[in-house]
């Protein structure tokens, strides 16, 4: 029966070619815009590491107190005192504190020109926690934890060691030597969830070195720093100040561990209160990736506005499609009447019309796909890299487009199909229209 | 008049009418909001930065050596001499940041010592020595700029002890801090506190005097999408910023910018090759880069608007053409009874006008609702009535233009149609 409907529908296409084309174009345009928007939204709010969806948590700890003016923008980092205390306590299965650095990277005695490298001081657990892919070597061992060792990102390793022999060699960062213990494979983390403090797009870093090394060598943070008041001069005063400049992430295997860690944070804050450092009730947070992305407000306002309007546009296209489908089915009045007269049930006529609408939808998916691919390309060209790199037209997006097209066409076609299947008076069979 | 027959015809085709009304209503609602937002973006992108945009270029200089602050200070000084020595350069400064750069330093300003909350928070700080005024081309409207002997070196590790004796602020900051002051000039000489809060020792809180007001200097993040930091409150400190990474700001004579840009990098590398230079942009490029997402939004909205109008036009044409085909016999009868071509044309146009007006009215109401919905998720201005009216008129005009073709086809139905039975 389905095949018969398809045949009827295709024949119907040929008969009202103009109307059919109009409907296909109208739905196609609406679908294309909606698909573009959905793809971008999906990329922006997707969890970058879905395998660790309920295991990775960002820690937030208030060391300024409610009296200090704090907006959401300066609560996402910890002070060194707190980060060091949490690291020492070792209450999480895996944990890391980290901050951003910048170096001039070079190789001594070679023709390779020095290059500006982004860097990050991290704990050894960082790589396992965020699933950094290794091409060679491994994270530094506990023995090397404060040593002059680094892990290189794929691009920098390729730049400095074009022969591919980076492992075990020495790289110079700001004219000091470091041994390469690991080289990463190309690592695209979109968005770079472990540090969202900069509102500009940031790829994964070129160099990773041990946090202990960076602290020992008094390397100042190159990332975002929030201070309630200026710190006293000197590195030690810097470490003991209440400025927040470190991100802190933990990996907790299950819900019980999460509860345990929350209790631990509460007790730590109470302890600080007893010691006189805090004089407010415990104020802290534990955020999984999704909550962290929402909290960091990753979807820019301009995107939200254009999404809303793109869906409004789809609504207009669907209304348009309903109108055109109504006209299409009504011009088929005589044929449908004859079918009813020879015994087709109302339901069968309804299904026939609905199938025609669905086929129109699928046909509309073609211009829709083209428009969506075009829309994403244009978006990428127009927009600052913040989220343009996240969005590409992959198989999932294409599937989404087709599904959307069929769904939209079915929604649009329900009313016209119902109208078309309504019983008509017998005398109309004999008249001209 | 023809209203009676029109009304009864429309009742017969109620569904089709509802469809068109709905389409027009949604189109008006979306169009007026899109136009309003495009206008808002245009105004946002037109905000003056306060600098001499046509003649400035910037670059980021990173020394490829590790050294002490003293080393970096003398290296930077040498660089500035090289840059200022180039032909066509008005001035050059080494700064921590500059307007629309995207990132920089913020500071809280208090009006009294021991004040708990700041009077102005997250004010942008520019530390570029005494050359900053001429290198950026900002306009001093009251008081004076720093003298060379008032400038001291300043690095990030000094940040704890910072307490400038003088400061130059923007006019908007002056108005925010001293609302009781009538003119900008009267704010000169007033005192602020930059290193104080409730818990600092009173003796350690030194006052800072405002010695000058500049008309405008935007903050580095003025163009960042979705930032809640203020975009016009900046202050200049009498410090020369010292660090391994610095932004060099160079202002040239009109028309010389591109030539100097090319010469500058070569001259710097010739003076000392141990460096990395990147982000070499003219200020126009900096502005374009920072406003990219705003421009993208405007383009997207414009595209949506155009497509929307096209789709609605197609809908009107399609439905009306269908009606014309459906009513051929009636049109023929009317023609046979004496209606002229123009009458038929006018009939369809009037019918369309009635439907579209109903749709536009509904659309205005929907437009206001949509504006409220958008305002809930993003900081958009309330739409002025002009956009509502304008959008309604545009869609009405479009609808009338779209109905022309089917109406012409209707008008060309010969009276002989009345006699045909098939």
Q: What is the pLDDT of residues B199-227, one digit of tens each?
A: 566 666 789 999 999 999 999 988 877 67
Q: For residue A44, what are the contacts with CB-CB under 8 A and spacing of at least 6? A: A191, A298, A299, A303, A387, A390
Identify which of A105, A156, A99 has the alpha carbon closest to the alpha carbon of residue A126.
A99
pTM: 0.85
Write the CA distances from A167 to A109, A141, A145, A155, A188, integer angstroms: 18, 15, 18, 14, 21
Point out the residue among A229, A324, A419 whose CB comes nearest to the CB of B315.
Answer: A324
Identify which of A149, A148, A168, A153 has the alpha carbon closest to the alpha carbon of residue A117.
A153
Mean pLDDT computed over B26-43: 93
Whether B68 and chain A come into contact, CB under 8 Å, resolves to no
B336 has a pLDDT exceeding 70: yes
Q: Are B153 and B240 in contact (CB under 8 A)?
A: yes
Interface test with A, best of B63, B108, B223, B307 (most A CBs within 10 A): B307
Q: For residue A295, what are the contacts with CB-CB under 8 A and spacing of at least 6? A: A72, A76, A287
Whether B312 and chain A come into contact, CB under 8 Å, resolves to yes
Helix residue spans in B137-255 (DSSP H)? 171-177
Whether A330 and chain B come into contact, CB under 8 Å, resolves to yes
Where exactly are the structural domains of chain B?
Answer: 3-46+293-419, 65-273
Where exactly are the structural domains of chain A?
Answer: 2-48+300-429, 63-251
Read off the tokens for B19.
């469809």
A70 has a pLDDT exceeding 80: no
pLDDT of amino acid B204 = 67
Q: What is the pLDDT of residues A234-270, one digit of tens each?
A: 889 899 999 999 999 999 999 999 999 999 999 999 9
Point out the residue among B23, B65, B289 whose CB comes nearest to the CB of A320.
Answer: B23
Whether A17 and chain B come into contact, CB under 8 Å, resolves to no
A55 has a pLDDT exceeding 50: yes
Q: Which stretch of A417-431, B98-112, B117-131, B163-177 has the lowest confidence by average pLDDT?
A: A417-431
The Cα–Cα gap between A394 and A376 comes to 11
The Cα–Cα gap between B35 and B308 comes to 13
Query: How does DSSP assign B344-380, residue by residue?
Result: HHHHHHHHHHHHHHHHHHHHHHHHHHHHHHHHHHS--
- H/E stretch holding B234 reads strand B234-236
- On chain B, the residues whose CB falls within 8 A of the CB of A19 are 318, 322
The Cα–Cα gap between B40 and B123 comes to 24
The Cα–Cα gap between B323 and B318 comes to 9
A433 has a pLDDT exceeding 50: no
CA distance B18 to chain A (A): 9
Mean pLDDT computed over B185-208: 78
Q: Assign B201 to helix, strand or coil.
A: coil
Q: Find the residue in A nearest to B63 (Cα).
A: A104
Mean pLDDT computed over B233-260: 94
Cβ pair A309:B226 closer than 8 A? no
Identify which of B137, B127, B139, B148 has the alpha carbon closest to the alpha carbon of residue B252.
B137
Write the CA distances from A393 to A193, A431, B396, integer angstroms: 22, 52, 37
Beta-strand runs (E) in A34-185: 56-61, 78-79, 94-106, 115-122, 134-137, 149-152, 170-173, 176-184
The Cα–Cα gap between B28 and A147 comes to 66
Interface test with B, best of A113, A276, A306, A420 (most B CBs within 10 A): A306
Interface test with A, best of B28, B318, B323 (most A CBs within 10 A): B318
The Cα–Cα gap between B126 and B118 comes to 19
The Cα–Cα gap between B388 and B231 comes to 30
Cβ pair A302:B378 closer than 8 A? yes
The Cα–Cα gap between B129 and B92 comes to 10
The angle formed by the CA atoms of residues B55, B60 and B63, to the nearest 5 degrees, is 140
Read off the tokens for B60.
């980021």
- Percent of chain B whose predicted confidence (pLDDT) is above 70: 96
The Cα–Cα gap between A380 and A388 comes to 5
The angle formed by the CA atoms of residues B271, B276 and B282, to the nearest 5 degrees, is 90
Label residue B375 left, alpha or beta by phi (over 0 means left) and psi (-120 to 50 means alpha): alpha
Point out the residue among B102, B318, B326 whose CB comes nearest to the CB of A19.
Answer: B318
Q: Which stretch of A218-227, A279-288, A391-400 has the lowest confidence by average pLDDT?
A: A391-400
pLDDT band at B421 (very low <50, low <70, confident <90, very high): low
> Which residues in chain B (177-236) have CB-CB distances under 8 A to chain A?
195, 197, 199-200, 221, 224-229
Whether A26 and chain B come into contact, CB under 8 Å, resolves to yes
* Burial readout A243-259 (b: 16 or more C-beta within 10 A, e: otherwise): bbbbbbbbbbeeeebbe
B379 has a pLDDT exceeding 80: no
- On chain A, the residues whose CB falls within 8 A of the CB of B22 are 319
pLDDT band at A202 (very low <50, low <70, confident <90, very high): confident
Q: Which stretch of B120-124, B216-220, B415-419 has the lowest confidence by average pLDDT?
A: B415-419
Sheet holding B245-252, edge to edge: B89-95, B245-252, B56-63, B275-282
The Cα–Cα gap between B269 and B209 comes to 40
CA distance A402 to chain B (A): 20
Strand-strand pairing, A94-106 and A244-251: antiparallel
Cβ pair B292:A310 closer than 8 A? no
Cβ pair A386:B293 closer than 8 A? yes
Burial class from Cβ neighbours inside 10 Å (0-12, 13-18, 19+) for residue A193 reads buried
CA distance A78 to chain B (A): 19
The Cα–Cα gap between B255 and B278 comes to 23
Q: Assign A90 to helix, strand or coil.
A: coil
Helix residue spans in B121-277 (DSSP H)? 132-136, 171-177, 257-271
pLDDT of amino acid B215 = 93
A201 has a pLDDT exceeding 70: no
Q: What is the pLDDT of residues A340-388, one digit of tens each?
A: 888 888 888 888 888 888 888 888 888 888 888 887 777 777 665 555 5
Q: Are A39 and A391 in contact (CB under 8 A)?
A: yes
- On chain A, the residues whose CB falls within 8 A of the CB of B26 are 312, 315-316, 319
Query: Would you give the DSSP letter of residue A256?
Result: H
- On chain B, the residues whose CB falls within 8 A of the CB of A412 are none
pLDDT of amino acid B9 = 78
Interface test with B, best of A18, A33, A36, A323 (most B CBs within 10 A): A323
The Cα–Cα gap between B93 and A420 comes to 76
- Residues facing residue A50 across a β-bridge: none
Cβ pair B117:A319 closer than 8 A? no
Q: Assign B247 to helix, strand or coil.
A: strand
pLDDT of amino acid B196 = 63
pLDDT of amino acid A427 = 47
- H/E stretch holding B210 reads strand B207-214
CA distance A260 to chain B (A): 35
Q: Are A37 and A401 in contact (CB under 8 A)?
A: no
Cβ pair A69:B118 closer than 8 A? yes
Cβ pair A313:B299 closer than 8 A? no
Whether A9 and chain B come into contact, CB under 8 Å, resolves to no
Cβ pair B19:A323 closer than 8 A? yes
- On chain B, the residues whose CB falls within 8 A of the CB of A313 are 30, 304, 307-308
Q: Are B42 and B298 in contact (CB under 8 A)?
A: yes
pLDDT of amino acid B22 = 92
pLDDT band at A69 (very low <50, low <70, confident <90, very high): low
The Cα–Cα gap between A220 and B124 comes to 21
Cβ pair B311:A26 closer than 8 A? yes
Mean pLDDT computed over B378-402: 89
CA distance B378 to chain A (A): 5
The Cα–Cα gap between A106 and A206 comes to 12
Q: Which stretch of A16-25, A136-145, A269-278 has the lowest confidence by average pLDDT?
A: A16-25
> Which residues in chain B (337-366) have CB-CB distances under 8 A to chain A?
none
Q: Assign B103 to helix, strand or coil.
A: coil
Predicted complex ipTM exceeds 0.85: no
The Cα–Cα gap between A165 and A168 comes to 8
The Cα–Cα gap between A87 and A94 comes to 10
Whether B158 and chain A come into contact, CB under 8 Å, resolves to yes
pLDDT band at A52 (very low <50, low <70, confident <90, very high): confident
CA distance A413 to chain B (A): 13
Provide the number of CB pairs (under 8 Å) joining chain A to chain B: 188
Mean pLDDT computed over A128-134: 95
pLDDT of amino acid B71 = 86
A200 has a pLDDT exceeding 70: no
Strand-strand pairing, B166-170 and B207-214: parallel
Q: Which stretch of A107-121, A195-209, A378-392 has the lowest confidence by average pLDDT?
A: A378-392
Q: What is the pLDDT of residues A275-314, one digit of tens each?
A: 999 988 999 999 998 888 888 776 777 778 878 888 888 8
Identify which of A203, A119, A218 has the alpha carbon closest to the alpha carbon of residue A386.
A203
Query: What phi and psi values does residue A410 have, to the nearest 5 degrees?
Result: -65, -45
CB atoms within 10 A of CB A157: 26
pLDDT band at A430 (very low <50, low <70, confident <90, very high): low
Write the CA distances from A213 to A21, A123, A209, integer angstroms: 67, 10, 7
Whether A198 and chain B come into contact, CB under 8 Å, resolves to yes
The Cα–Cα gap between B48 and B53 comes to 9
A431 has a pLDDT exceeding 70: no
pLDDT band at A82 (very low <50, low <70, confident <90, very high): very high
């Amino acid at each position: 029966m389905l095949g018969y409907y398809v045949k009827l529908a295709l024949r119907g296409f040929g008969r009202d070619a103009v109307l059919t084309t109009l409907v296909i174009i109208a739905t196609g345009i609406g679908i294309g815009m909606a698909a573009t928007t959905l793809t971008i939204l999906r990329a922006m709010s997707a969890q970058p590491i879905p395998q660790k969806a309920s295991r990775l948590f960002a820690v937030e700890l208030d060391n300024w107190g409610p009296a200090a003016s704090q907006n959401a923008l300066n609560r996402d980092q910890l002070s060194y005192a707190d980060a060091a205390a949490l690291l020492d306590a070792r209450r999480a299965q895996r944990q890391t504190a980290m901050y951003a650095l910048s170096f001039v990277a070079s190789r001594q005695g070679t023709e390779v020109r020095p290059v500006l490298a982004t860097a990050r001081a991290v704990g050894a657990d960082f790589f396992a926690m965020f699933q950094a892919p290794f091409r060679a070597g491994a994270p530094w061992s506990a023995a090397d934890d404060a040593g002059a060792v680094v892990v290189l990102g794929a691009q920098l390793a390729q730049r400095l060691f074009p022969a591919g022999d980076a492992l075990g060699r020495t790289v110079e960062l700001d004219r000091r030597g470091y041994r390469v213990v690991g080289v990463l494979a190309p690592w695209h983390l979109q968005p770079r969830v472990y540090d969202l403090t900069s509102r500009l797009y940031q790829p994964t870093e070129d160099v990773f070195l041990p946090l202990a090394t960076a602290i020992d060598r008094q390397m100042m943070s190159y990332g975002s720093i929030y201070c309630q008041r200026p710190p006293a001069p000197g590195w030690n005063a810097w470490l003991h100040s209440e400025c927040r400049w470190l991100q802190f992430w933990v990996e907790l295997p299950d819900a019980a561990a999460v509860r345990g860690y929350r209790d631990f944070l509460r007790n730590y804050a109470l302890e600080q209160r007893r010691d006189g450092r805090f004089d407010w009730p415990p104020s802290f947070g534990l955020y999984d990736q999704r909550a962290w992305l929402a909290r960091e407000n990753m979807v820019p306002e301009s995107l939200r506005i254009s999404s809303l309007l793109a869906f409004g546009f789809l609504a207009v296209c669907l209304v348009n499609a309903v109108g055109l489908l109504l006209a299409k089915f009504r011009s088929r009045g005589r044929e449908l009447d004859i079918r009813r007269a020879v015994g087709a049930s109302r339901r069968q006529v309804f299904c026939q019309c609905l199938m025609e609408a669905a086929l129109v939808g699928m046909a509309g998916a073609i211009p829709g796909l083209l428009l969506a691919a075009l829309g994403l390309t244009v978006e990428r060209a127009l927009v600052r890299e913040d989220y343009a790199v996240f969005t590409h037209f992959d198989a999932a997006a294409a599937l989404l487009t087709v599904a959307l097209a069929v769904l939209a066409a079915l929604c649009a076609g329900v009313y016209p199909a119902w109208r078309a299947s309504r019983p008509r008076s017998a005398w109309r069979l004999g008249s001209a229209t | 008049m023809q209203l009676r027959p029109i009304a009864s015809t429309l009742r017969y085709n109620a569904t089709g009418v509802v469809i068109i009304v709905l389409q027009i209503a949604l189109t008006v609602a979306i169009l007026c909001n899109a136009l309003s937002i495009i206008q808002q973006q245009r105004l946002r992108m037109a905000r003056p930065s306060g600098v001499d945009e046509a003649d400035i270029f910037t670059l980021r200089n990173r020394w490829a050596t590790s050294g002490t602050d003293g080393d970096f200070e003398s290296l930077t000084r040498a660089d500035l001499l090289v840059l200022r020595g180039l032909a066509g350069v008005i001035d050059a400064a080494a700064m921590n940041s500059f307007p629309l750069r995207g990132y920089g330093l913020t500071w809280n300003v208090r009006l009294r010592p021991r004040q708990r909350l700041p009077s102005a928070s997250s004010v942008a700080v520019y530390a570029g020595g005494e050359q900053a005024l001429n290198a950026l081309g900002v306009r001093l409207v009251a008081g004076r700029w720093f003298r060379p002997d008032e400038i001291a070196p300043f690095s990030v590790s000094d940040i704890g002890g910072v307490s400038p004796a003088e400061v130059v602020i923007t006019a908007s900051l002056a108005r925010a801090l001293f609302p009781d002051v009538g003119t900008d000039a009267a704010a000169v000489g007033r005192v602020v506190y930059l290193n104080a809060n409730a818990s600092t020792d009173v003796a350690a809180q030194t006052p800072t005097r405002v010695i000058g007001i500049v008309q405008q200097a935007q903050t580095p993040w003025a163009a960042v999408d979705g930032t809640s930091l203020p975009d016009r409150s900046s202050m200049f400190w009498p410090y020369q910023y010292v660090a391994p990474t610095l932004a060099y700001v160079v202002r040239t004579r009109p028309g010389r910018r591109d030539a100097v840009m090319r010469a500058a990098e070569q001259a710097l590398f010739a003076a000392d090759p141990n460096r990395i230079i990147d982000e070499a942009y003219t200020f126009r490029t900096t502005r374009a880069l920072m406003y990219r997402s705003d421009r993208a939004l405007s383009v997207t909205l414009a595209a949506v608007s155009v497509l929307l109008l096209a789709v609605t036009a197609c809908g009107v044409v399609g439905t009306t053409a269908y009606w014309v085909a459906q009513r051929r016999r009636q049109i023929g009868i009317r023609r046979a009874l004496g209606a002229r071509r123009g009458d038929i044309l006018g009939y369809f146009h009037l019918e369309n006008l009635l439907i579209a007006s109903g749709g536009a009215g509904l659309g205005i109401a929907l437009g206001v609702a949509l504006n409220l919905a958008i305002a809930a998720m993003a900081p958009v201005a309330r739409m002025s009535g002009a956009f509502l009216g304008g959008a309604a008129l545009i869609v009405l005009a479009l609808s009338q233009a779209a109905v022309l073709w089917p109406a012409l086809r209707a008008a060309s139905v010969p009276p002989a149609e009345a006699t045909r039975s098939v």
